[in-house]
Structure 1
Amino acid sequence: MNFLKSSVNGKIWLAALGAAVAGPLLLTIADSTVMLAGGLFLYVFFLQYQAFQKQEMQKKQIAQEKMLREISFGLFNNVLEADISENRVLGENALKLSDLLGLNKSDDYEEIIEAVVAKLVKEDFREEYKKRFSREAILALYQAGQSSFEYEFIERSDGVSYAWVQTSVCIYRSFDTGTIRIISHVKNIQQKKEKEFAILQKAQRDPLTNLYNKVVTKEFIDEFLLSMEGRGMHAVYLIDIDNFKFINDHFGHAFGDAVLSRVAEKLNRSFRASDIVGRIGGDEFLVLAKNVEDRAIVLRKAEETCKSMHNLLKGISGSASVAISIGICIVPDDGTVFDEVYIKADAALYAAKKKGKNTFVLYENL
């Protein structure tokens, strides 16, 4: 009896022990299963969310491209869309541009760019235009993370007269094909450029005579002499109005200003448009005559310039007259930069003044 009771108690004890051990174990397995299932659900949800976000982004970008095309074609006549990867110009404008260029409805991007350069772009800008709009350059910009660029140049947009224009280019990857494409439009900026040039000219010019001021004269002469074109023979004329103080004192500063303006006009007409003519002091002018053939021509031009001033005030004053003295030096014999030639020409001018004024002296004859 005691044995039986003991046996039953042992079984109960063992059962209780088993439940105590197995219970938490079963709960742990259940929790792990729930956690694993939850993790898988979250992972799948994350992937679906990412796909949804990507799809939404693509929809937005496609809509944006469509809007860009609609706006561009609405605002600008000269719009170009091209697939750079496939070397094709796209859309109706491809045919219009091809017909304008005489290419018989070609959509070949490189062929169209070559024709644009040859027939529409002004010669000074052709090489740069070809570089900027080459397929290699555009693909390189895209690879570098650049999505747009602008270029200003001169072309005959109407096929007849030249004008300043600005091309704005957008570079993007097509979601449909995966290829690199561009959308560009051209707008006329002639008026803007004319205003910019007017402001620049005002900064460069002497307000009284409209000749280059001293700073710009020096800068232009140094730039020219350092260039390949500046390697020839050139003449520097330093010109001073004789007795200008007397003119100012006896006839007034307004009359003196009129004399300066007349001398400036005469110098502009006496020298070529390619020469550099500037006012570098009160009554002092400097001219760089480019690419002269020999010294005889240089001296003859100085003599003609002196004589041209004799009747300068005819119709303005019966008692006042104008004469000038000129100092001359030769590039490269007497110098190759502005500061060198100015010192030599100034020494020659001083000699002309001492000689009796109304004459000219060549530096090498000192």
Structure 2
Amino acid sequence: MSKMVEKYKALVKRMKLLYGSKKMLDEKEKSYLEYVKLQRICVNLRYSILFAIFLSIAVLFIIIFPQIREYFDFKLFFIWFIALAALVLYIIVGKIFYERVKSEDKSKKDLILAEGIHGIFWCIYPVALIAIAHIFSNPLQSVIIWIAFFYIGVQIPIYSFYETFFIYPITIIAAVVFLVFADLSLELVIACVPVVVFMVIVAQATHLDRLEAYYLIAKNSSENFEAKRRAANIFSQVFDVALEVNLHSGLCEILRENEFLGITENTEMQRVEEIIDFVKEYAHPDDKYAFEKNLNTDYITDEFLAGRTQLYFEGRVLTKNNEYVWFSFLISREEEVGSEYCLCLVQNINERKQQEGKLRFEAERDPLTQLYNKVTTKSLIEECLEKSPSAQHALVVIDIDNFKTINDSRGHALGDKILLAFANELNKNFRETDIIGRVGGDEFIVLIRNVQSIAMVCDKLQQLTSNFKRYGVENGLPGRLSTSIGVSLFNKDGKNYDELFKKADAALYEAKRNGKDQYKFSITRA
């Protein structure tokens, strides 16, 4: 018994809910009901406008035009002309209120007026059908036509709980009036009544299902919004941008967006291509390939179909502050296999990258001169030789003459000053593409990349030694600063770093034996 009571209460609540009663509802259910009300008003207005257009055409072609051609009754013509004008006016007014109801800045007054307008129309609609159907001479034909369009009239609009008790009585009264004034036989009237009642019952059942469908849409939309809002709150603590992307339609919804990145000005649905094109446009030139490859819906779809669940890459983007900032991009497929949705999570990793860069710099550089250290110099040169096996490079090994004597007699402070000055001359004399490193106390290595000629190497070395000597004179350093230099050529004196260094080092000691302050090419070329 208690189960039946519970079912009955649930049914009553469902009926009240779907027909507009807000009793026994919580705040969420009330908000769902507002959505149902809005959709119901829009549907009723839209279809009332369409039916008004239909009635206008019917009045014009079935009543007014035949009167003008065959017989003319001014009084009757005037009545139908006023009816036609009223229908046209309703179409215009209904269209205006339909646009208002659909807009974001609609007011409660607009909704009330819209309800009143379409309510009046659906009351008048069956009466108008009576007048149109009554022009047919065959009573049975009139009834069939009226019932057919009456069914359409009660089937299409969606009435609220209060509208039901307002519109249906008027509709029934109109039907009775029509049956009486049409002078139909009693048998035909008795036959029509159950048909009309049946249509009303069927229509109400259909209305209930449609209202429930709108209610479920509102509920699901609200739950999805809440879920996305909670996700956005989580994302806001970790990510700067979070996008939900539909790979099939190309639409994306921005769940979280940091204005610092400046991808978009709102959180409406957008074409994913627009955001991708924006990011590509402002990507760092060195990172454009990574963006072109990974920010491609076809590539992402293929990778997901191949079984991957996540794609990750990093790149720099020009921000509103007009500086390039590092971001990580994590593209993650939804859990459902074959899902067309994925999440794109973007995080500002600029601070991490700067820290990594600082640590990498400290690990790769000589702490005094800031040139590459011995390990990094060798690694970079080996990488260069491997990538360009047919190019012409020159490996230069340099020692500062008598540096140990200066360092021991005048102190390490002066020695460090000389080392810094020589490192500065190396940076000024060689190109950014060349590799420069300090590999010992006063020993330096330079790989001159893509040597055009031996004369070019000689000019570089003569300019270097001349500038270093001038620095010593200008700064009043004791004695004369000079260097001993050995040179070996890639592919002629050796095929790898160790071979080139061995030949260049031998040439360096040959220069020292010959009196220092000079450069020598590999003894294999002597």
| Structure 1 length-normalised TM | 0.71
**Larger displacement relative to structure 2 (280-289 or 326-335):** 326-335
| Match of residue 353 from structure 2 | 193
Q: By how many angstroms is 1:159 displaced?
A: 8.6
Deviation by residue 1:274-297 (Cα, 9 ceiling, x = unmatched):
110001112110000111211111
| Match of residue 123 from structure 1 | 285
Deviation by residue 1:317-338 (Cα, 9 ceiling, x = unmatched):
4423311011111122212321
Aligned-partner SS, 1:195:
helix
**Larger displacement relative to structure 2 (59-68 or 184-193):** 59-68
Query: For 1:1-366, what aligned pairs fall within 5 Å after superposition?
Result: 64-72=227-235, 78-90=241-253, 107-110=270-273, 112-114=275-277, 116-117=279-280, 119-143=281-305, 147-158=309-320, 160-172=322-334, 179-228=339-388, 231-314=390-473, 316-363=475-522, 364-366=524-526
- Change in Cα spacing, 1:258 to 1:66, as seen in structure 2 (3 Å) is same
CA distance in 2, matches of 1:214, 1:100: 44
- Change in Cα spacing, 1:100 to 1:168, as seen in structure 2 (3 Å) is closer
On the 8 A contact 1:174/1:181 being kept in 2, the answer is no
| Match of residue 76 from structure 2 | none
On the 8 A contact 2:290/2:315 being kept in 1, the answer is no
On the 8 A contact 1:121/1:156 being kept in 2, the answer is yes
Matched positions, count: 298
CA distance in 2, matches of 1:273, 1:61: 55
On the 8 A contact 2:279/2:317 being kept in 1, the answer is no
Deviation by residue 1:143-201 (Cα, 9 ceiling, x = unmatched):
566544432111124394322112233321579xx842122233332222112111110
Aligned-partner SS, 2:320:
coil
On the 8 A contact 2:312/2:328 being kept in 1, the answer is yes
CA distance in 1, matches of 2:473, 2:490: 36
**AA aligned opposite 1:326:** I
On the 8 A contact 2:395/2:489 being kept in 1, the answer is yes
On the 8 A contact 1:85/1:179 being kept in 2, the answer is no
On the 8 A contact 2:437/2:446 being kept in 1, the answer is yes
Q: By how many angstroms is 1:343 displaced?
A: 0.8
Q: By how many angstroms is 1:137 displaced?
A: 4.0
**AA aligned opposite 2:325:** A
CA distance in 2, matches of 1:276, 1:350: 22
Unaligned ranges ≥5, structure 2: 1-221
Aligned-partner SS, 1:309:
helix
**Larger displacement relative to structure 2 (202-211 or 188-197):** 188-197
| Structure 2 length-normalised TM | 0.51
Deviation by residue 1:210-243 (Cα, 9 ceiling, x = unmatched):
1111110000000011114x63211111101111
Aligned-partner SS, 1:285:
strand
**AA aligned opposite 1:163:** V
- Change in Cα spacing, 1:170 to 1:294, as seen in structure 2 (3 Å) is same
Higher strand share: 1
| Larger of the two Rg values belongs to structure | 2
CA distance in 2, matches of 1:226, 1:67: 52
| Match of residue 163 from structure 2 | none
On the 8 A contact 1:83/1:181 being kept in 2, the answer is yes
CA distance in 2, matches of 1:71, 1:245: 62
Q: By how many angstroms is 1:64 displaced?
A: 4.8
- Change in Cα spacing, 1:174 to 1:63, as seen in structure 2 (3 Å) is farther
CA distance in 1, matches of 2:286, 2:509: 43
CA distance in 2, matches of 1:92, 1:349: 65
- Change in Cα spacing, 1:148 to 1:61, as seen in structure 2 (3 Å) is farther
**AA aligned opposite 1:207:** P
On the 8 A contact 1:125/1:153 being kept in 2, the answer is yes
On the 8 A contact 1:240/1:325 being kept in 2, the answer is yes
CA distance in 2, matches of 1:223, 1:183: 38
On the 8 A contact 2:398/2:445 being kept in 1, the answer is yes
- Change in Cα spacing, 1:138 to 1:69, as seen in structure 2 (3 Å) is farther
CA distance in 2, matches of 1:234, 1:129: 34
